[in-house]
Structure 1
Amino acid sequence: MDARPLTIKQAAEVLGMSQWTLRDRVTAGTVPHRRTGKVRGVVFDPEHIEQIKKADSRPALGTPSRAAARTRRAARTTRQPSAA
């Protein structure tokens, strides 16, 4: 792999995720990156991206969304007790 830093678009393609998912991970601090002088300018070290790609074995869909978790939680709390 080339030693030049990767843009968000390039890193997202290598990782197989959307740019927005990668931006979320940058904001959460889970992906090593460097800020450039540009507004929202972020670059990634290709070696770090390769390490993340190898370590990230989650399914493509990832974890369920927060909305899905709220729906499941609401369904559990609104169940009526069964008459015995």
Structure 2
Amino acid sequence: MGKKPRPVIIRLHYYQQKELIIREARAKRGKLVYQGSPVAIYKDYAPEVATHALNTNPLWRSYITLVSSQLSFPARLFIWTKDR
């Protein structure tokens, strides 16, 4: 106990399995436990999909030309401006 949680990456052959896992994890939110420790499951996207989604959003495109940023797992957003 007291250790930082470790991320685990799972690759599934069929997307239906992934969707089933995500659906069941949402249904058991806060109640999913493995060997007495809570487990959190997050939906992730392939880098190509995430890049495409960011580049097709015009508001985001205008934002990234002004500010340098980084989104890291789990959901931490780092922003750098010209001042820093």
Ranked by relative contact order (alpha carbons within 8 Å, sequence separation 6 or more), the top structure is 1
Higher helix share: 1
TM-score bucket (shorter structure)? under 0.3
Higher strand share: 2
Instruction: Give the number of the structure whose alpha-carbon radius of gyration is greater.
Output: 1
The TM-score, its normalising length taken from structure 1, stands at 0.25
The TM-score, its normalising length taken from structure 2, stands at 0.25
